[in-house]
Amino acid sequence: MKQFQAPWGKALRAVSAAATVILLGVAAIPVPGVWWMRLLPLAILAGALPFVVRGYTIQDDVLLVRRLCWDTRIDLTGLRSARFDPAALRGSLRTCGNGGLFSFTGWYWSRQLGRYRAFGTDPKQAVVLTFDTRRIVVTPERPDAFVRELSAGLPR
């Protein structure tokens, strides 16, 4: 079992800080007659927080994406390649998910990768996992060591 942290990059820190300040500021504005509207920004913050990516654990044929309150299991059966690509997320469009409030998670599309799922915190640490029918992008600390660890189990 190998564990890797998910360090926050500059972009994630900046977006998360700015969004938090804005959402808390909006929640603090009194709106006569519709007090419940002040709860919406707080609900957005509370809704995004559990999806934080804290790290990754490689365990047998499973990659665990460690979240704040649970782990997301990714079956590594059928993994064809793992490669470090700090430009992998560049030019991506988010089709469904979170684009920077405590994580970059969800489903994305780019010309380079096509459709993929992301579980990340620092785009410059991107590792692309290619399977027969899907792609997944994660952003572990020490991406080269992460790739070596995953590649050791791949068929030659």
Structural domain for 120, as ranges: 2-151
* Rounded mean pLDDT, 78-107: 95
Residue-wise pLDDT for 33-70, tens only, equals 787 888 999 999 999 999 999 999 999 899 999 999 99
The pLDDT score that the predictor gives to residue 4 is 97
Task: Confirm whether 13 is domain-assigned.
Answer: yes
For the chain, the first-to-last Cα distance in angstroms comes to 22
pTM listed for this prediction: 0.91
What's the domain count of the chain? 1
Residues in the chain: 156
Task: Confirm whether 36 is domain-assigned.
Answer: yes
Laid out side by side, the sheet with 53-59 consists of 2-5, 53-59, 62-67, 71-75
Task: Confirm whether 98 is domain-assigned.
Answer: yes
Task: Confirm whether 145 is domain-assigned.
Answer: yes
> What's the mean per-residue pLDDT of the chain?
93
Task: Confirm whether 156 is domain-assigned.
Answer: no
Task: Confirm whether 135 is domain-assigned.
Answer: yes
Nearest alpha-carbon partner for 117 in 107, 132, 129 = 107
H or E element, residue 59: strand 53-59
Amino acid identity at 18: A
